[in-house]
């Protein structure tokens, strides 16, 4: 099978979408499929046997980390040379719309996938009034596809309710060979603690430091539980504001980590806090769980698909009084309060992660592709 991906998000950027794409590409190529990726310029020319085509791009004004690819004639020429059996558009934006147009123009079967809950991001950038308009634009784009994949049951339901048709679940995945409890390390723990003592519990957050992640919600936890320490692993446009917000607290800004260092950071924490209520899945939660770090996450979006409250982590209500601060405090207390229960959660978290490998997720994706191609063949036969 020959698959062309169109995505605004790819290497060298690091986030959950890129992780899913790179693992998917790796498994597709390993199974004998041919892959070409169209993405914003600055990318490598190839990845794990797939050709990568960079296109001119411009940063999104409100979110400069995200570049919008501007498809030109070169994209059409590359696609004509590749002759894909199927086009998969990831989070259709400017480059994605180009992919949709090329699929329709060339009568190539089209799959789209939804990974970033952009309508819910708007309120964190002072543009909540545009949410209905954005949903209409998303509906118009996604309904060009034969199949629309979502990464959690909550997103399948919400997109269906918004009028996006032919939705299905693309199952989660995590690399349990990279992320594992055995990488817990005292030197990494000291690095995460920074200048603060190791007398209490170490809370960690891994991910983009941006407004929609609602990281400031962790500050009341530090105030209510003064023996806790916080390590923020990652970087992003909201870092300077967060440094001001967390000034005077036991917080270390670690910056980006990758590979074994990242895996060791997950394993070296006592609890992983993920306050965001805008997640379509929350891949970092699965990585933390694979590393044996019990998690606290919002009871909203895709997160309840991952966390079974009180078993492999704890859920909090993000819409409660004071933006869920009290509920987040209570959930964190619950997780940290009993060492025996926390040990049980660590084991349960690891067991849950072991259920979800990237090979299985890619096998499921390929079955979806085959169904879409079968529909095209049936339409031709009819």
Structural domains in the chain, CATH included, are: 2-173+357-381 (3.40.50.2000), 181-353 (3.40.50.2000)
* Nearest 10 degrees: Cα torsion 313, 201, 336, 341: 80
Where are any strands of DSSP class E within 8-146?
34-40, 46-47, 50-55, 57-60, 63-69, 86-90, 110-114
Model confidence over 91-142: pLDDT tens digits?
988 899 999 999 999 999 999 999 987 767 667 667 778 888 889 999 999 9
Model confidence over 267-285: pLDDT tens digits?
999 999 999 998 988 899 9
pTM of the predicted model, to two decimals?
0.91
Per-residue pLDDT, averaged over 314-321, amounts to 88
DSSP 355: T
Least Cα distance to 371 among 164, 31, 111 occurs for 111
> How far, in Å, CA of 28 to CA of 278, rounded?
29
């Amino acid at each position: 099978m020959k698959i062309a991906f169109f995505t605004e998000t790819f290497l060298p950027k690091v986030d959950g979408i890129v992780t899913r794409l790179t693992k998917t590409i790796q498994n597709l190529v390993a199974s004998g499929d041919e892959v070409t990726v169209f993405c914003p310029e600055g990318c490598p020319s190839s990845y794990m046997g797939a050709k990568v085509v960079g296109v001119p791009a411009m940063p999104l004004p409100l979110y400069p980390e995200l570049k919008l690819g501007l498809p030109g004639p070169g994209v059409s020429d590359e696609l004509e040379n590749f002759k894909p059996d199927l086009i998969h558009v990831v989070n259709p934006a400017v480059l994605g719309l180009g992919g949709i147009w090329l699929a329709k123009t060339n009568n190539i079967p089209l799959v789209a996938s939804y990974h970033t809950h952009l309508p819910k991001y708007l309120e964190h950038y002072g543009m909540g009034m545009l949410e209905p308009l954005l949903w209409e634009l998303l509906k118009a784009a996604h309904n060009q596809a034969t199949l629309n994949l979502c990464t959690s049951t909550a997103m399948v339901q919400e997109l269906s309710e918004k009028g996006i048709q032919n939705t299905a679940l693309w199952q989660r995945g995590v690399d349990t060979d990279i992320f594992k409890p055995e990488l817990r390390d005292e030197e990494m723990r000291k690095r995460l603690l920074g200048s603060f003592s190791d007398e209490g519990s170490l809370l960690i957050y891994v991910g983009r430091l941006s407004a929609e992640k609602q990281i400031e919600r962790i500050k009341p936890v530090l105030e209510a539980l003064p023996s806790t320490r916080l390590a923020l692993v990652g970087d992003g446009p909201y870092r300077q504001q967060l440094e001001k917000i967390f000034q005077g607290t036991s917080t270390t800004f670690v910056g980006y980590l990758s590979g074994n260092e990242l895996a060791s950071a997950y394993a070296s924490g006592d609890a992983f806090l993920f306050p965001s209520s805008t997640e379509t899945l929350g891949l970092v939660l699965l990585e933390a769980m694979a590393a044996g770090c019990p998690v606290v996450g919002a009871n909203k979006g895709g997160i309840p698909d991952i966390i079974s409250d009180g078993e492999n982590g704890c859920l909090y209500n993000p819409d409660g009084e004071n933006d869920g601060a009290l509920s987040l405090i209570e959930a964190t207390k619950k997780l940290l309060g009993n060492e025996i229960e926390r040990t049980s959660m660590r084991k349960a978290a690891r067991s849950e992660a072991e259920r979800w490998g990237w090979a299985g997720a890619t096998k499921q994706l390929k079955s979806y592709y085959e169904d879409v191609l079968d529909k095209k063949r049936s339409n031709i036969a009819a």
